[in-house]
Amino acid sequence: MSMLYQESKSMEQINQFVAKWEKFVDIIHQERNINLKSWKRCEGLNINPDNLEFNFLSEDELASKLKENKKLIEIAISYMEQVSSSLQGKPHVVALSDSEGWILEILGTKEEFGGRLNGFDIGASWAEEYLGNNGIGTALVEERPILVYGNEHYATAYHNVACLGVPIKNQNGKVVGALDVSVPVKYTHPRRITMALTAVNAIENELSLQERIESMEKIVATNIHDLRNPLTIIQSLTKLGSMKTKSEEQNRYFKRIIKQIDILSNMLNNILAIHKPEKYTLISIEQAMQEIIKEIKPLCKARGINFEFFNRNQVMLMLRRKIFKRAIHNLLINAINAMDDEGEIMIQTSQIEDKLRIEISDTGPGIPPEIEDNIFQPFVKQGEEGTGLGLYMVYQTIVEVHQGEIWFETKAGVGTTFYIELPTVKEDSDNSERKLH
């Protein structure tokens, strides 16, 4: 009985092995057919396999490509770094291209593959028409992942390299670029395939999310614009009615209507400020804060509030100026409204490693305990005044728009301090590009 069981178990293992082998052979067969099709395309393109002519973008063309694909690069770079880190200690290249095969970013040990002389550099074309079949060029043509192993390359210069290319698609299924992982053939491993596919899947998910957010932003901005027109008309008619009436009771009603319209308009402006696209600007924290302080100081003076600003940092930030200004303005107005006609507001900055911290302190009554945990949620407000969207807009501006952090400390009867940390911008001495930490 035991022997029969062992034979049965052995046959089961053999059958499983055969099934896996047949599946592997089928995959390889498909891959080889794709490479064969690619070779036929290369022959029709008159590519000299022993003497490739590499094609590079000019400086202006490259700058234009990088700008055009900025979103793709920003999303892909962190995943490329993870793939590159997993290959540390081994010769490798992780490359990102646009939909036409132009290299937008390249990480790894490109010099070990010949560097620019062999087309391993930013601005090079890896399209099939220039290099023959390769990870990126063939993946873009076939619109599917492809492995080109050693001698399967049409060009002899790449016969010692294994290239895995994976196309990157947007939420509509359109190919917008490709990711390539290249290693010497002796380092080829199935794990590299899984790694590259996982990275591209993450990139596609993030691209899809951003596209949906941008689409929603356009819808929100359009609807808010449409809402503001009738509100303006209602406000104008209400003010006209207030001027015409001789009844004190009617005038009170008109004033209440105008006040509610102002609240609604402010609510719409807060939502629009979050969703309305605005370009990032390189600006010093001193300049950014002075623009805000210029408006806030007169309000503090009129209310008898002492206002202080201390800054000893000359760091640069990448800000969407209008929305950042509105966020800080909201925090300061909240602080002013929280205090009676006296008190103190202090802003001070400090640099902590590669981040700038902004502290905004007031001597108000503090934030009520019942709303502390939800203070940054929409429609959570202190008292009857306001829309409950101000701090929600502040949170979105700091965390979502500027990749920063915000938190607070508060004590009843003593005051509240909001802490904001933002990534600083550093000048890269190697290529003179300003990079966000």
DSSP one-letter string for 264-326: HHHHHHHHHHHHS----EEEEHHHHHHHHHHHHHHHHHHHT-EEEEE-----EEEE-HHHHHH
Q: Is 235 exposed, middle or buried (0-12, 13-18, 19+ CB in 10 A)?
A: middle
> How far apart (Å, rounded) are the C-alpha atoms in residues 432 and 437?
15
The DSSP bridge partners found for residue 78 are none
286, 294 Cβ separation under 8 angstroms: no
The model's pLDDT over 208-217, given as tens digits with 9 standing for 90+, comes to 877 776 666 6
Q: Which of 129-138, 247-256, 290-299, 415-424 has the highest mean pLDDT?
A: 415-424
Q: How many CB atoms lie within 10 A of CB 258?
A: 16
Whether the predicted pLDDT of 275 surpasses 60 = no
Beta strands 306-310 and 316-319 are: unpaired
CATH of domain 278-436: 3.30.565.10
Which homologous superfamily does the CATH classification assign to the domain defined by 21-206? GAF domain (3.30.450.40)
Q: In the structure encoding, which two tokens stand for residue 176, read together?
A: 């917008």
Q: What integer pLDDT is reported at residue 271 of this predicted model? A: 64
Whether the predicted pLDDT of 21 surpasses 60 = no
Residue 18 identity (one-letter amino acid): V
Whether the predicted pLDDT of 133 surpasses 70 = yes
User: Could you tell me the pLDDT band of residue 418, with boundaries at 50, 70 and 90?
Assistant: very high
Opening angle at CA 184, ends 179 and 190, nearest 5: 65
Q: What is the mean pLDDT of residues 205-227?
A: 70
Q: Enter the pTM of the model.
A: 0.51
The answer to whether the 21-206 and 278-436 domains have the same CATH topology is: no
C-alpha distance from residue 235 to each of 8, 244, 246, 386, 388 (Å): 86, 14, 19, 18, 22
Stretch among 232-241, 331-340, 378-387 having the lowest mean pLDDT:
378-387
Q: What integer pLDDT is reported at residue 189 of this predicted model? A: 76
Mean pLDDT of the chain: 81
Stretch among 167-171, 304-308, 320-324, 412-416 having the lowest mean pLDDT:
320-324
Q: What is the mean pLDDT of residues 378-397?
A: 70
Stretch among 137-151, 204-218, 284-298, 376-390 having the lowest mean pLDDT:
376-390
Segments making up each domain of the chain, as ranges? 21-206, 278-436
Whether the predicted pLDDT of 253 surpasses 90 = no
The model's pLDDT over 60-118, given as tens digits with 9 standing for 90+, comes to 999 999 999 998 998 999 899 989 998 989 999 999 999 999 999 999 999 999 999 98
Sort residue 310 into left (φ over 0), alpha (ψ -120 to 50) or beta: beta
> How far apart (Å, rounded) are the C-alpha atoms in residues 132 and 46?
10
Q: In the structure encoding, which two tokens stand for residue 418, read together?
A: 């909001």
Name the one residue in this structure whose structure tokens are 């491993």.
189
